[in-house]
A and B are shown apart, each in its own frame.
Chain A
Amino acid sequence: MVDGIDGDKREKAGITRRRFTLGVIIASVAGAFGSLFALLKVLSPEKKGGGYVTTIQPGDKLVYAKGGNMGAPLRASSLNVGDAVLAFPAGKSSNPANLVQVIKLQETEFKPPMHLNLTDRGFVAYSAICTHLGCTVSWVKNQQAPAASYTECFCHNSIFDPSRGAKVMGGPAPIPLAQIGVKVADDGTLVFTSDFTGPIGPQVG
């Protein structure tokens, strides 16, 4: 009874217990969840310089990226026409953006949009990171006709033409693999001579 009278008085003052409680609940929930939004920021950290950022410098020596000679200098004499290997710049193999595919072809096969000035004695190098979804590309060697060999990403079968500047010949890759300059040094090893000619890695976002 006393409560009832009390309630009536408050109602006249413009606020009931029900409305007050509701207000407290709404304010608490809004406040709590509002604060939680800050957490979402914490949970999605932004790595500075994320994505594929190469650290290759002109003059870096090429070394084998895998296999038995991993880390050993790549020599021009070890590749025949129609061969390709994965290589890193010496001492910089921890950065996957530095991975390149070095290919040896007949120089006469090279056609635009290949950057001829970035090749040397049939050696050409491209980023080995597929521009579709970031898998490492592979070399599909044609034993009978080495010139018909090509680069393929085995993840979703994007095909790149190595003698035409890694132009996309098929599959879902949106852009060619970026070319990078290489030359044969005096001691017979391969060295980088330039930066990539275009963007590397998946072209998303």
Chain B
Amino acid sequence: MSIFTWFDERLELKKFKAKFLVKTFPTHPTFLLGELALFSFITLVATGVFLGFLYEPSTKMVSLFGAMVPAAYASVVKIDILPLGMIIRRIHHWSAMLMIAAVLTHLMRIYFTSAYRKPREINWLIGLCLLGTAMVAAFTGYLLPYSQFSVTATSIAYYVSKSVPWIGDWVSRLLFAGEFPSDGTVPRFFFMHVMLIPATLIGLISLHLLIIVKQKHTEPRSNRNRKEAEGGRRLIGIPIWPEQGVISLSFYLFLLFVVVLMATYIPLNPIETYGPPSPGTPVMRPDWYFLPVYGFLKLIPGDLSFTFLGGKITPETIGGVIFPGLLFLAAALMPFLDRWKEPQHYIANPLQRPFMTSLGVGAGVFICMTAVAGYIDVLHITPNRMTAYAILATLAAWGVTYTLLRRYSRKRGTDV
């Protein structure tokens, strides 16, 4: 009796295989981005376990090479000294960037091919929650090495959350365990980073995947013609295992190779350069996915504050909370603006959807311009001029895309 038979008699593996592993996965080059995010998350968990074994979530002062530094900082320096320790830490950091990049490109793919349409609105919303949670995961990770960079970045977030009218004072004390920096902040962020947020991510990812299994993947439009010719109704594609699984796995292994290569040769968050917390703030920028918020905070004039329903709305609230909040809200509303009576199971051609595509291009250009605004100090552009550039670029991108696509779809027909 083989081992497989032993397990099969108890767990009915054959039945499971017949039911789930042969599920059809439609093929299209852009259908791998979500999986890439999932695999990056697995890399993050694996490297995170290694780091978690060695990290010390405490700000009490300890001696490190004769200098008194916070214990958290000392433990990360010790990780960096371990054989391969620094590489593991960089793989963790690169994978975080890769995961957010994958989620964002996955989101763009879904948006521009209109795969969010009925009946997939729920999964679109869960996807947005995943993006938000992944960014919070990355942010809570910033503080943990407790370098000058960590403390500055977290301090900014603390004052942004504190600036929120009505609830800001309480929310900031809840998130940061009192006034930042307090002795409780690092343990609380550590718990959120290694437990609360990963658990939330696992829950959301599971829900996301279950809904895909239930609703089935959207299909390329070429499948529609093929089905009409063949008269079939079933999804056309390849089975999850082994075909799709092997493709995904080899794709992931290739990316893991790229990540390890980058981790080996490109320094990332060198905490020894920033040093432990000290007076003085050097020029520092957040990782790229926070650049839009960072840039937007630079653009808002300092005197732009007003009172609304008894709460004071400050520039910090507008830049750090309202701006990203509105972006997420706008994205969340998309499936409800683009409403359909019948369920849509084929992806759309973005070139034949002038309105939605130009809206997405405009939003994308606007977000990129706010990210560029993070560099106004090196570009020597004043905030007001940068704001004008951002608005002009957004309107131009929107208008040009719309005009061109209207012309294109007049010839080829719109895909509505």
Contacts and interface: CB of A to CB of B under 8 A. Distances in A.
Contacts of B376: 157
Nearest to A131: B302
Interface stretch (A20-28, A30-38, A43-51): A43-51
B178 interface: yes
A44 B316 contact: no
B178 A47 contact: yes
B279 interface: yes
Interface stretch (A3-11, A116-124, A133-141, A189-197): A133-141
Interface string B298-328: 1111110100000000111001000000000
Given A40-B174, A134-B156, A154 B284 contact: yes
Interface stretch (A74-82, A104-112, A166-174, A177-185): A166-174
A152 to B, nearest CB: 8
A125 interface: no
Interface string B345-385: 00000000000000000000000000000001100001100
Interface residues of A, number: 39
Among the interface residues A51, A65, A171, which one has the most CB atoms of the partner chain B within 10 A? Answer: A171
B281 A136 contact: yes
Interface stretch (B20-28, B111-119, B165-173, B257-265): B165-173
Interface in B267-288: 278-284
B174 A44 contact: yes
A202 interface: yes
Contact of A155 (B156, B170, B279): B156
B179 A174 contact: no
Interface residues of B, number: 44
A37 B330 CA distance: 32
B152 A135 contact: yes
Chain A at the B interface: mostly helix, strand, loop or mixed?
loop
A158 B280 contact: no
A136 B281 CA distance: 5
A129 to B, nearest CB: 10
A135 B279 CA distance: 9
A96 interface: yes
B150 to A, nearest CB: 13
Contact of A66 (B168, B177, B280, B316): B280
B279 A65 contact: yes
Contacts of A135: 152, 155-156, 281
B153 to A, nearest CB: 9
A19 interface: no
B152 A138 contact: no
Nearest to B319: A172
A103 interface: no
Given A154-B283, A157-B376, A134 B168 contact: no
A149 to B, nearest CB: 16
A172 B281 contact: no
Interface in A140-162: 153-158
A41 B160 CA distance: 21
A95 to B, nearest CB: 11
A154 B278 contact: no
Contacts of B178: 44-47, 50
Given A66-B278, A66-B280, A154-B377, A133 B174 contact: no
Given A134-B156, A171-B298, 12 more contacts: A44-B173, A44-B174, A44-B177, A154-B282, A157-B377, A171-B302, A172-B315, A174-B302, A174-B303, A204-B159, A204-B316, A205-B169
6 contacts: A44-B171, A66-B279, A136-B281, A156-B298, A171-B298, A205-B168
Nearest 3 interchain pairs by C-beta: A204-B163, A50-B179, A44-B173
